[in-house]
């Protein structure tokens, strides 16, 4: 019996050791990754971004604003920190992490719209946060959002369970095999190539035949107000930008007008610019969109040029 228990103990210690080594290997590898999903997070924590202008927001920030165009029009160094499937809670965390590890930006372009004041009921693309669960801000924020189990924060390797591709990528990156070309992603911008997809819009209409009203958290409205005040106090020029969506989708978002009113109210209260493109002519052409709320490559190019010219005037960057 004693010999049996000894063997069990050795097996347990061996297993724990393997899990610890695996956790260290994958974590170090993913923290070095420049792949599409990880590039902006890696850049933030490495402290190597230090942009003059940062773009903050959800997938409509990430997929609509091309830093290459922004840089060429404004003669600045910009970076896209947009994160798919996020509301203000995660967007603010991303901004705070950026400020913690990088120099203060001169300008912030915060992309806003429906969903900005909705409390996240799930952590979108949670695997990209897994290597940083030991960070106090990441831990405190993600613990309050459905995504990671409690044990993921304390036991080795569990946080990577269910993500075999990312585990392989982490190991490869750890071993020095880590690359992502600028054609795949450039300064956080994934350069979308997709044409209009009827399936996505039809699925949305079938799921919400009578439309939908996205939740509004008063707590998040207040949090955004505090954030805007902080930026102003620090001398950062921040602009709120409401991009267009495909016109046929607009009637399905019943409380967009209320959300827009709240956003404009916050901008007016804090004396900052609000650029509203919700009624822009771009809304009326499918050629600009991959689906009802996301632009394709050509749409992103047109919108980024239009936005950049408006920012150039507002920031007094004209020659």
Each residue's pLDDT tens digit, 195-227: 888 899 999 999 999 999 999 999 999 999 999
What pLDDT band is residue 246 in, cutting at 50, 70 and 90? very high
Write the CA distances from 282 to 60, 166, 310, integer angstroms. 14, 37, 16
**pTM for the predicted model, two decimal places:** 0.92
49-90 pLDDT, tens digit per residue, is: 999 999 999 999 999 999 999 999 999 999 999 999 999 999
Using the CB atoms, write b or e for 282-294: b if 16+ within 10 Å.
bbeebebbbbbbb
Residue written as tokens 């913690």?
Answer: 100
pLDDT in tens, 283-300: 999 999 999 999 999 999
Interatomic CA distance for residues 209 and 252, integer angstroms: 8
- Please give the CATH architecture assigned to the domain spanning 2-120+135-314: 3-Layer(aba) Sandwich (3.40)
């Amino acid at each position: 019996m004693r010999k049996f228990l000894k063997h069990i103990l050795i097996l347990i210690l061996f297993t724990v050791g393997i899990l610890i080594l695996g956790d260290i290997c994958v974590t170090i590898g993913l923290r070095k990754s420049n792949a599409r999903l990880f590039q902006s997070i890696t850049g933030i924590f490495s402290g190597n971004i230090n942009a003059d202008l940062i773009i903050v927001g959800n997938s409509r920030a990430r997929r609509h604003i091309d830093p290459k165009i922004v840089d060429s029009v404004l003669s600045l160094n910009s970076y896209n920190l947009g994160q798919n499937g996020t509301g203000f809670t995660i967007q603010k965390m991303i901004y705070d992490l950026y400020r913690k590890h990088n120099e203060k930006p001169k300008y912030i372009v915060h992309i806003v719209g429906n969903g900005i004041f909705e409390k996240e009921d799930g952590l979108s693309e949670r695997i990209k946060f897994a290597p940083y669960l030991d960070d106090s801000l990441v831990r405190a924020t993600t613990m309050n959002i459905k995504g990671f189990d409690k044990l993921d924060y304390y036991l080795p390797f569990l946080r990577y369970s269910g993500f075999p591709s990312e585990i392989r990528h982490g190991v490869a990156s750890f071993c020095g095999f880590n690359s992502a070309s600028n054609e795949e992603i450039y300064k956080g911008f994934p350069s979308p190539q997709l044409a209009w997809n009827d399936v996505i819009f039809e699925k949305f209409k079938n799921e919400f035949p009578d439309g939908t009203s996205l939740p509004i958290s008063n707590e998040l409205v207040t949090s955004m107000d505090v954030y805007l005040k902080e930026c102003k106090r620090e001398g950062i020029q921040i602009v709120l930008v409401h991009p267009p969506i495909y016109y046929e989708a607009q009637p399905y978002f019943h409380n967009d007008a209320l959300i827009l009113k709240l956003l404009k109210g916050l901008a007016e209260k804090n004396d900052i610019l609000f650029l509203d493109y919700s009624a822009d002519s771009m809304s009326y052409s499918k050629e600009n969109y991959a689906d009802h709320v996301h632009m394709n490559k050509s749409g992103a190019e047109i919108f980024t040029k239009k936005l950049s010219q408006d920012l150039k005037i507002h920031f007094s960057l004209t020659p």
